[in-house]
Amino acid sequence: MPTLAMFMDTNHRVAGAYWHWYFLSQPEPFPERVIGANPDFFYETCLVGWGATRIGDFDDEMLAAYRRSWRDPHMIHGSCSDYRAATVDLAGSADINRKIGCPTLVFFSAAGQMAHLFDIPGEWRKRCENVAEASLPGGISSWISIPMRLLTY
């Protein structure tokens, strides 16, 4: 979802499913300290709470690599900063009504939370001139928007 639409069209269902957008974007050091107190609990809860995944679904080596990464205070800060940066759209922009001209593929999970809460391709058509859409039937709760020209390199 475009960030502006995600924030501006929030209701209790969106806020409940995407609470982390609002938590992680809080001014530092609040989320960093909360997460840093028990990063395994926070991130493992996120891993299993955002989809149909269980901790046991992860290979031991993969999970160990995730844990090493998310225990790093710099990674925690970077993750929070990414969500803080997303709120820049809320401040408005001189070109907010301009459409993106490059061909854009909107790729999403047809059974994911976003697809139940929003018309994902419709929202991107408001922001992009040339939208193609593709979806997977699974329930992954994330979305990806990739300019098509990136796929040709």
Residue 125 lies in a domain: yes
pLDDT of residue 146: 38
Residue 98 lies in a domain: no
Residues 67 and 141 in one domain: no
Residues 114 and 69 in one domain: no
Number of domains into which the chain is organized: 2
Residue 48 lies in a domain: yes
pLDDT of residue 101: 94
pLDDT of residue 46: 87
Residues 72 and 22 in one domain: yes
Residue 99 lies in a domain: no
Report angle CA 64, 66, 70 to the nearest 5 degrees: 120
Residues 86 and 40 in one domain: yes
pLDDT of residue 150: 40
Got the DSSP string for the chain? --HHHHHHT--HHHHHHSHHHHHHTSPTTHHHHHHHHSHHHHHHHHHHHSSS--GGGS-HHHHHHHHHHHT-HHHHHHHHHHHHHHGGGGG--TTTTPPB-S-EEEEEETTSHHHHHS-HHHHHHHHBSSEEEEEESS----EEEEEHHHHT-
Residues 79 and 115 in one domain: no
Work out the end-to-end distance of the chain between its first and last CA atoms, rounded to an integer number of angstroms.
25
Question: What is the span of the domain harbouring residue 140?
Answer: 104-151
Residue 114 lies in a domain: yes
Domain-ending residue, one of 45, 61, 91: 91
Is residue 129 within 8 Å of residue 101, measured between CB atoms? yes
Domain-ending residue, one of 42, 67, 91: 91
Residues 110 and 136 in one domain: yes
pLDDT of residue 89: 65
Can you give the pLDDT of all 153 residues of the chain as single tens digits?
A: 887 888 888 889 888 888 998 999 999 999 999 999 999 999 999 888 776 678 888 889 999 999 999 999 999 999 999 989 887 767 766 677 889 999 999 998 888 888 888 999 999 999 999 999 999 887 644 333 334 434 433
pLDDT of residue 114: 84
pLDDT of residue 14: 86
What is the pTM (predicted TM-score) of this model?
Answer: 0.72
* Residue whose structure tokens are 């018309």: 119
Residues 25 and 81 in one domain: yes
φ, ψ of residue 71 in degrees (nearest 5): -85, -10
